[in-house]
Amino acid sequence: MSLKKLKVTLADGTGDSVEGCLDCLLKALAHNNAEASEKVQKMGVLLLLPPLLDPRSSCAPKVANIIAEVAKNEFMRGPCVEAGLVPPLVQLLHCKDQEVLLQTGRALGNICYDSHEGRSAVDQAGGAHIVAEHLKSRSQNTDAANGKLLTVFCGMLMNYSNDNDSLQAQLINMGVVPTLVKLLAIHSQNAALTEMCLVAFGNLAELESSKEQFAATNVAEELVRLFRKQEEHEKKEMIFEVLAPLAENDVIKLQLVEAGLVECLLEVVDQTVDGEREEDVAQLKTASDLMVLLLLGDESMQKLFEGGKGSVFQRVLSWVPSHNHQLQLAGALAVANFARNDGNCIHMVDTGIVQKLLELLERHVEEGNVTVQHAALSALRNLAIPVVNKSKMLAMGVADVVLKFLPSEMPPVQFKLLGTLRMLIDTQVDAAEQLGTNPTLVERLVEWCDAKEHAGVMGESNRLLSALIRHSRSKDVVRTVIQGGGVKYLVSMATSEHVIMQNEALVAFIPCFSNCCMHMCKDFLNASLVQVLHKLLSEETSAPEIKYNSMILVCAIMGSEPLHKQVQDLAFLDLVSRLRSHENKTVSHQASLTEQRLTVQS
């Protein structure tokens, strides 16, 4: 009844009657929002509301309240935009009256919620800019009514920009980030506003441009201070959700470390490690994952390492032998992150971390946790990079433990296993020979060289196969690789798009022709080695070291009659002669030597 009366009353323009009808409508919406909203839409009431949103009208706050209520329904947001309600609502944002601003903020926020049309209309009317200015100018006022208004305005901006990169970028350009950080600091006692600020942070923190702005504020201090106060799991999780994207920025990582976040995280780990509740498991994972993320920054990692004497470093190392899989994983990943420079790696190997990692891997050989296997192998690979660590780690039996994972069918584990072995045998002649004459390993490498669906595994298998020959320079290793069917993969590796892999393949071939393996040249013929060398020398884009090693190899294969014949048939002499004028002196010199060799043996 009140809707029909409202339409008539609006036509008459009697103020008191309009107010009464609006009150009735608000009661109807409070009783059954969806049903009343549907009637409002059917009877065309929305089209009558724009004149009532005049800033001079006493009805304005009630009308804005009605719009806020009907826009709670998804089916009403589009019609609100079509009825032209957004531009007059945005104009109401210029009012000084707190109730008008509150209801207008609610109305615009609800119209924007999950609605492209709503956001677009608010954007075109310039509503976000006005709200951002209100937040800035009112941020210092801590009275309850203002706190409520700030909460509504924060919510409105959140609904406006949620999951929309361009609108989020617009808010960042307006300077919303420092304002939100200021609100968090000033209104820390206001739970509703604090929560809304956190949700808004989470909304904006994913964007790279926002991280620079966050880094220029004291957000790290504020978030850590807020985290320390929290008792409830949900509130802690909410702060974690903001910290994770922010901690991807290296400057903020260091700020968080300096603000004391690490101590908070260690405390969470201590409180939840033996917990069986779902929320304990979730918090343990989040806290330990965040700890690992903080260690990805060079400065934050080094600050926590403290020359290997840091209490945080020691605590994290104690996670590796833990009974808890999540802590084992985080501990191994932390070691991998600490092992990002030679000094740290050398210290860790000398202080016994390798043994802890090997014991951890031994626990996960049979039916093991793949993520723990991957993390522990990552740590070992990084630790094996400094030359002085290689022989020590080999003596500790690292290669033997790593080989236990050869049967793994998990590509991430395969990839790290290969990388660890390749790092270990670099410059280690005896180890390279021992592994290179292991037919089980070589057969598995050849199998993985064909793993086209896993480019990383395929590439690492080729590189390890090549490294076994290069570092051992052993005819027994060459024979094992040839018998295992590895030649065609090494020839294919010489055509890789990566210069380093091309070069490793070429250097690996040289011992094949200087270790009495000429009788095995059939494999090289079948793999079209000579044609590949011709292509590498012909291509203008081939790097100087590729041309140089290709010519060294041409000289090396001249002792094999079938390969020698292929070299003659492909007119290598002309090709090499042209390279005598190459701008690289090493290449031009080798071209002269190769030309002489070809001329003598032609």
CA proximity to 171, closest of 120, 198, 209, 141: 209
pLDDT tens for each residue of 541-557: 899 999 999 999 999 88
Q: What percent of the residues of the chain are helix, what percent strand, and what percent coil, each to the nearest 5? A: 75, 0, 25
Distance between CA atoms of residues 220 and 251, nearest Å = 10
pLDDT tens for each residue of 68-119: 999 999 999 999 999 999 999 999 999 999 999 999 999 999 999 999 999 9
- Write down the pLDDT at residue 569: 84
Q: What percent of the chain has pLDDT over 90?
A: 73
pLDDT band, residue 12 (cuts 50/70/90): low
CA 587, 588, 594, 595 torsion-angle sign: positive
Distance between CA atoms of residues 47 and 79, nearest Å = 9
Reply yes or no on whether the pLDDT at 11 is more than 70: no
Q: Give a three-class secondary structure readout of 158-206.
A: HHHHCCCHHHHHHHHHCCHHHHHHHHHHHCCCCHHHHHHHHHHHHHHCC
Distance between CA atoms of residues 103 and 441, nearest Å = 72
Q: Give a three-class secondary structure readout of 287-304.
A: HHHHHHHHCCCHHHHHHH
Q: What percent of the chain has pLDDT over 70?
A: 96
Tell me the helices (H) and strands (E) count for the chain, helix number first.
40, 0
Q: And the tokens for 519?
A: 């009788």
- Decide if 600 contacts 559 (C-beta within 8 A): no
CA angle 164, 169, 175 (to 5 degrees): 135
- Write down the pLDDT at residue 14: 56
* Widest pairwise Cα distance in the chain: 114
The residue-averaged pLDDT of 403-428 equals 95
pLDDT tens for each residue of 244-275: 999 999 999 999 999 999 999 999 999 999 88
pLDDT band, residue 1 (cuts 50/70/90): very low
- Write down the pLDDT at residue 443: 95
pLDDT tens for each residue of 330-384: 999 999 999 999 999 999 999 999 999 999 999 998 778 999 999 999 999 999 9
Distance between CA atoms of residues 495 and 504, nearest Å = 11
Burial of 289 (0-12, 13-18, 19+ CB in 10 A): middle
Contacts of 48 (CB under 8 A, 6+ apart): 6, 7, 10
Q: Which of 214-223, 404-413, 570-579 has the lowest mean pLDDT?
A: 570-579
Report which residue type is found at 38: E
- Decide if 393 contacts 380 (C-beta within 8 A): yes
Reply yes or no on whether the pLDDT at 318 is more than 60: yes
Q: What is the mean pLDDT of the chain?
A: 91
Reply yes or no on whether the pLDDT at 234 is more than 80: yes
Residues in the chain: 602
Distance between CA atoms of residues 138 and 131, nearest Å = 10
249 three-class SS: coil
Reply yes or no on whether the pLDDT at 590 is more than 70: yes
- Residue 309, phi then psi, degrees to nearest 5: -110, 0
Query: How far from chain centre, in Å, is Cα 580?
Result: 48
Distance between CA atoms of residues 266 and 305, nearest Å = 15
The residue-averaged pLDDT of 439-467 equals 94
Distance between CA atoms of residues 545 and 182, nearest Å = 58
Q: And the tokens for 291?
A: 């700890």
Distance between CA atoms of residues 434 and 439, nearest Å = 10
Distance between CA atoms of residues 469 and 478, nearest Å = 6
- What's the Rg (C-alpha) of the chain? 35
Contacts of 345 (CB under 8 A, 6+ apart): 339, 382, 383, 385, 386, 389
pLDDT tens for each residue of 499-531: 999 999 999 988 887 654 555 678 888 888 999
Contacts of 263 (CB under 8 A, 6+ apart): none
pLDDT tens for each residue of 20-71: 888 888 999 999 999 999 998 998 889 989 999 999 888 999 999 999 999 9
CA angle 578, 581, 586 (to 5 degrees): 110
